[in-house]
Structure 1
Amino acid sequence: MSQVRAQVLHPVDRSYTVGAGLAGEITKKQTKPAEDISGIACAPAGAGPRTCMVVDDEAAGAQFVTLDGTTLNPGAVIDIAGRKPPAAALGSPPATGDCTLGQGAYREMDGEAVAYEAPDFYVTGSHGCSRRGREFKLSTALLARLRPDAAGTGARVETTYRLGDALRTADTVGPYFLKDLEPREGGKPLSGLNVEGLAVVGDTLYAGLRAPVLDGRAFLVSVPVAALFAPGDGPLGAKPTTIPLALGSDAGIRDLTALPDGRLLVLSGPTRNGLAVPYTLFLAELPSGKVTPLGTLAPLDGDEARGKPEGIVRLGPGRVLVVFDSVLDGGPREYAVAIP
């Protein structure tokens, strides 16, 4: 593994541009620039531009984007969380849990990942305590399914709380649900669970966890899509499956994307802020969880040195697009990745 890990991946195409209008946090007074892009997913390539969706973790929803060659053109913004809990959300809201400061304000969705499985996009909140405030915000406990309309200017939105049920009852990782993500000053890390990757393969949804990481293993939690979005306010009617991925010490899942053959491309990175853990691409087989390292992304430099890889999408055979947090408009870059 170490020999493959040593392969450093540099961008092969930096010419990608983003049109005007990619939105970050939207307040009553302004729409802030998108500087916290945390996920991207696209419908399969066809004859024309690809329909994609991105999420900014400071926003209340997600945004359509059209990928046309090397240009990303922002489209409609879809509000998911709203200003108060959606009355039609399926399942029941989780309890506050063990977040140190208890219940926080209902605000941003803290959207962390996007997935696509025809004909729907899926967007998830982090489902964890807030990293800095150590609060539980109900707005982050939503999973949404969005079906684009024919014009591509809107979507039918369904929301559910049942991904929280799956995380809370999952083997191995369930005890870390709604625990603090970062240690208090002088305290021990609690490795609180939070979601940063999402993929849907057929009728199964896979949530990729940034934390906890136990004995060098990060985790996927899989659950049937139908159970997540079953009518009514009852609890999840299915048993989730926990799949360990041997990504290395302190390396959690930062994003997922499904490949055409049903395997997953996994982006790993530090499970907590401040850890010197590289961002690495892995190939994961399902349901075994066997992983093959594909290479490590070289850090950005110059004015974009703070950028953190947060989203991946397959462009074609051996080609991957990566978007970054802490870079204006996500700083999209293309990488060549040999996928066996």
Structure 2
Amino acid sequence: MIRKTATLMCALVGALAVLSALQGFASADEPGFVAEWSVKPEFDGKKKLRKSISGAACAPVSPPVCAVALDEKQRTQFFTIDGDRIVPGKSMRLLPKELDGAKTGEIDAEGAAYGDGFFYIVGSHGLSRKKAEFNQSSFFLFRFPVDGETGHPEFEFSKKKFAPEIERTDALRGILKGAPDPIGQYAEKPLGEGSGGVNIEGLAYRDGRLYIGLRGPSVGGLSFLRSVNVDALFFNSKPDLDVIELALGSGNGVRDLAAVSDGLIVLSGPVQSKGTYALHHLSLPSLTLSKLADLKMPDKDYKAETVLVLAEGAETVKILIMYDGAKDGGPREYLLTK
């Protein structure tokens, strides 16, 4: 089943009034912007790895404990939030060095989510951008349990040794290939051509389901979410599958997702390398899609690829944006109306 969102709406007059009241928190040229955050100490690794943050999610503990998706290497790294500062912690290897006697590659992680005691990290499930090559390691969804009070794993882990408590599944590959067109039609096709092959860039958890945001394809101004019950992925339960169409505009796709009480926050951006970025609110189950804000990139080489919900009110949502291409994600805080 394919479900269509309502026509993309501009911010309502009432929402504009609330934004006006928040001008003390916003910069003059970017409504909703609050402040840049600091990161101390630095994230692990060389500069290339530190510039590869492509998603993050937090366990709802105090202070929040979060995990990042990195599109380089085979690991995740934890961090906590202290006021307006990100405090990186330990790194954890997600994949063994070998599978079935063959050396594993980079997992190309592009999305992270948290739900019901588990963190989830998902690979791109797409062909390599430059050479359109298949890499088995990027076609996995990982999950691992954490303590409900601390947000940390109770098992031993390191960035060098794989821990058996980390689960993985390749079931999403078949779910994407078997999806109604155009998703199925563009599965495992090159991202850099035409409408863009299927490439996961967003992940969110709500009510026992994972919502998978697709950067590509973009067809007729529409982008797509694929959702599935978690039990079908890890317990072989009967799949309950859904497709949601998002009217994000020609050449735009999903760059990240985050769950809120009444739906999802959608970070949109270009399918290809150049274009604009924006934040949207998708109301569930009504599927009403409304734009919250257009985003300005702090640098021409930055790509907004992470959205974290810091706090949520009846009409407002506090959001943290992080950027692929920025060392340590270059976090920036926004306060917006839903």
Mapped partners of 1:259, 1:324: distance in 2: 21
- How is 1:183-198 mapped onto 2 (pairs within 5 angstroms)? 183=193, 189=194, 191-198=196-203
Q: What is the aligned counterpart of 1:79 among 81, 90, 93?
A: 93
| Residue 160 in structure 1 maps to residue 163 in structure 2 | no
Q: What is the aligned counterpart of 1:174 among 184, 188, 205?
A: 184
Q: How far off is 1:20 after superposition?
A: 2.3
How does the TM-score come out when normalised to structure 2?
Answer: 0.82
- How is 1:208-219 mapped onto 2 (pairs within 5 angstroms)? 208-219=213-224
Q: 1:248 to 1:83 in 2, by over 3 A?
A: same
TM-superposition CA deviations, 1:88-112 (whole Å, max 9, x none): xxxxxxxxxxxxxxxx973111000
Which residue of the partner structure matches residue 39 of structure 2? Answer: 18
Contact 2:10–2:291 at 8 Å: present in 1 too? no
Contact 2:9–2:290 at 8 Å: present in 1 too? no
* Aligned AA (2:174): D
* Aligned AA (2:228): V
Mapped partners of 2:75, 2:97: distance in 1: 11
- How is 1:1-340 mapped onto 2 (pairs within 5 angstroms)? 4=11, 8-9=30-31, 11-14=33-36, 16-24=37-45, 33-44=49-60, 46=61, 48-85=62-99, 106-149=104-147, 152=152, 156-172=165-181, 173-183=183-193, 189=194, 191-230=196-235, 237-261=238-262, 263-274=263-274, 277-300=275-298, 304-317=299-312, 318-339=317-338
Mapped partners of 1:180, 1:106: distance in 2: 21
Contact 1:57–1:110 at 8 Å: present in 2 too? yes
* Aligned AA (1:251): N
Mapped partners of 2:151, 2:285: distance in 1: 37
Contact 2:52–2:324 at 8 Å: present in 1 too? yes
Q: How far off is 1:216 after superposition?
A: 0.9
How does the TM-score come out when normalised to structure 1?
Answer: 0.81
Which residue of the partner structure matches residue 161 of structure 2? Answer: none
* Aligned AA (1:42): C
Mapped partners of 1:137, 1:330: distance in 2: 25
Contact 2:177–2:185 at 8 Å: present in 1 too? yes
* Aligned AA (2:140): L
Secondary structure of 1:269's counterpart equals strand
Q: 1:151 to 1:54 in 2, by over 3 A?
A: closer
TM-superposition CA deviations, 1:99-133 (whole Å, max 9, x none): xxxxx973111000101112111110000001112
TM-superposition CA deviations, 1:171-207 (whole Å, max 9, x none): 1211211111113xxxxx2621010000110111110
Contact 2:195–2:251 at 8 Å: present in 1 too? no
Q: How far off is 1:154 after superposition?
A: 5.9
Percentage of matched positions with identical amino acids = 36
Mapped partners of 1:35, 1:151: distance in 2: 25
Q: How far off is 1:81 after superposition?
A: 2.4
Mapped partners of 1:61, 1:213: distance in 2: 29
Secondary structure of 1:163's counterpart equals helix
Secondary structure of 1:167's counterpart equals helix
Q: How far off is 1:21 after superposition?
A: 4.4
Q: 1:246 to 1:20 in 2, by over 3 A?
A: same
Secondary structure of 1:273's counterpart equals coil
Q: 1:32 to 1:248 in 2, by over 3 A?
A: closer
Q: How far off is 1:290 after superposition?
A: 2.5
Q: 1:153 to 1:71 in 2, by over 3 A?
A: farther
Q: 1:128 to 1:32 in 2, by over 3 A?
A: closer
* Aligned AA (1:34): R
Matched residues, number: 300
